[in-house]
Amino acid sequence: MLRLGRREFGTHEPVIMAIVNRTPDSFYDQGATFQDEPALARVEEAVAEGAAIIDIGGVKAGPGEEVTAEEEARRTVGFVAEVRRRFPDVVISVDTWRHEVGEAVCEAGADLLNDAWGGVDPRLAEVAARYGVGLVCTHAGGAQPRTRPHRVTYDDIMADILRVTVGLAERAVALGVPREAVLIDPGHDFGKNTRHSLEATRRLGEMVATGWPVLVSLSNKDFVGETLDKPVKERVVGTLATTAVSAWLGAQVYRVHEVAETRQVLDMVASIAGHRAPAVARRGLA
């Protein structure tokens, strides 16, 4: 059972985490939700389309202008508090690697800290433990925040992913983070080239077999773009194909831009797998 905030999710229940970037330079939406009102409208839309988790980020993942911890907090803390007020039952996640920001957003009502940079600040897990919130433990190949991979190599990419993510998860639980609120993430594109991310997807079942809930952040990423030779705005189909494969292999949480489309893919895979009944079943019964 995965428990985050006020929500509980069954073992075979796919969960959508909708991306809301509070940045002026995000790679996909180019700052569309940087201002409060568009961002709140995005939250309302995502929840209506089936998102159970809202993932709020104050710093884009790639290189760019420096964003201090103070500025990151300014972009996220007040927004977290407002989302908490308007949507008391939604799970609020914050994408940050800094413990100072983690502390501030937990005070404001966050339920989950999404550490996409693989524990580069070990105190973030301590914050999660102190506040009793969830933690995403990600493989980033030892990369520093906001850097791109350059000629990275692994003897066995999945072995490294398992070593790092399971190690981070076990450390988090030892610190006091609730076990049922810890997830592991292979970290597509983070510290990886395209072939690494494809292999991580192909072998995702090995992560699922650890027993930790698996989160995948696939949406419109470079490994999709390079695989299909498509620019950022033309990666939705490739993303959804990767989502379907990940769902079949047992991933549970999906960090996405396109909520409605992802919901349909996940519902279809769940029904094929026998975990969900069809929404209607009239064919052949009339």
Residue 225: pLDDT band with limits 50, 70, 90: very high
Q: Which residue has the higher pLDDT, 29 or 281?
A: 281
Asked if the structure places residue 123 within a domain, the reply is: yes
User: Is the Cβ–Cβ distance between 185 and 136 less than 8 Å?
Assistant: yes
Asked if the structure places residue 20 within a domain, the reply is: yes
Residues 12, 255, 65: CA angle, nearest 5 degrees: 160
Q: Tokens 């009102």 map to which residue?
A: 37
For the cut 90, the answer to whether the pLDDT of residue 268 exceeds it is yes
Q: What is the CATH number of the domain that holds 114?
A: 3.20.20.20
For the cut 90, the answer to whether the pLDDT of residue 73 exceeds it is yes
With residue 93 as reference, give the H or E element that holds it.
Answer: strand 91-95
- Average pLDDT (66-74) is 96
Q: Give the other-Cβ count within 10 Å of 145's Cβ.
A: 17
Q: First vs last Cα of the chain: how many Å apart? A: 39
For the cut 90, the answer to whether the pLDDT of residue 30 exceeds it is no
Beta strands 7-9; 2-4: pairing state: antiparallel
Range of the domain at 151: 12-25+32-273
Q: Residues of the chain with pLDDT > 70: what percent?
A: 100
pLDDT of residue 31: 79
Q: Give the other-Cβ count within 10 Å of 149's Cβ.
A: 15
For the cut 90, the answer to whether the pLDDT of residue 196 exceeds it is yes
Q: What are the b/e assignments for 241-272, b being 16+ CB within 10 Å?
A: ebbbbbbebbbbbbbbbbbebbbebbbebbee
pLDDT of residue 218: 98
- Average pLDDT (273-286) is 94
Residue of 219, 159, 232 whose CA lies nearest to 189:
219
- Reported pTM: 0.96
For the cut 80, the answer to whether the pLDDT of residue 27 exceeds it is no
pLDDT of residue 23: 92
Asked if the structure places residue 209 within a domain, the reply is: yes
Q: Tokens 């893919």 map to which residue?
A: 265
Total domains in the chain come to: 1
Beta strands 253-256; 15-21: pairing state: parallel
Taking CB atoms within 8 Å and a gap of at least 24, the contacts of 24-29 are 25/60, 25/64, 25/65, 26/57, 26/60, 27/60, 27/61, 27/62, 27/232, 28/219, 28/220, 28/232, 28/257, 29/257
Report pLDDT digits (tens) over 227-237. Answer: 999 999 999 99
Asked if the structure places residue 279 within a domain, the reply is: no
pLDDT of residue 273: 98
pLDDT of residue 4: 98
Report pLDDT digits (tens) over 76-119. Answer: 999 999 999 999 999 999 999 999 999 999 999 999 999 999 99
- Using a 10 angstrom Cβ sphere, with 0-12 exposed, 13-18 middle and 19 or more buried, the burial of residue 191 is buried
> Per mean pLDDT, which range of 25-29, 54-58, 194-198 is the poorest?
25-29
- Using a 10 angstrom Cβ sphere, with 0-12 exposed, 13-18 middle and 19 or more buried, the burial of residue 48 is exposed
Asked if the structure places residue 283 within a domain, the reply is: no
Asked if the structure places residue 3 within a domain, the reply is: no
- Average pLDDT (263-285) is 96
Active site (catalytic) residues? 221, 255
Residues near 280 by beta carbon (within 8 Å), at least 6 away in sequence? none
- Average pLDDT (246-260) is 98
Q: Tokens 């192909």 map to which residue?
A: 202
CA distance 208 to 192: 20
For the cut 80, the answer to whether the pLDDT of residue 244 exceeds it is yes
pLDDT of residue 28: 78
Asked if the structure places residue 188 within a domain, the reply is: yes
- Average pLDDT (174-199) is 98
Q: Look at residue 254 and give its three-state secondary structure.
A: strand
Asked if the structure places residue 171 within a domain, the reply is: yes
- Average pLDDT (16-30) is 88
User: Is the Cβ–Cβ distance between 31 and 24 less than 8 Å?
Assistant: yes
- Average pLDDT (15-41) is 89
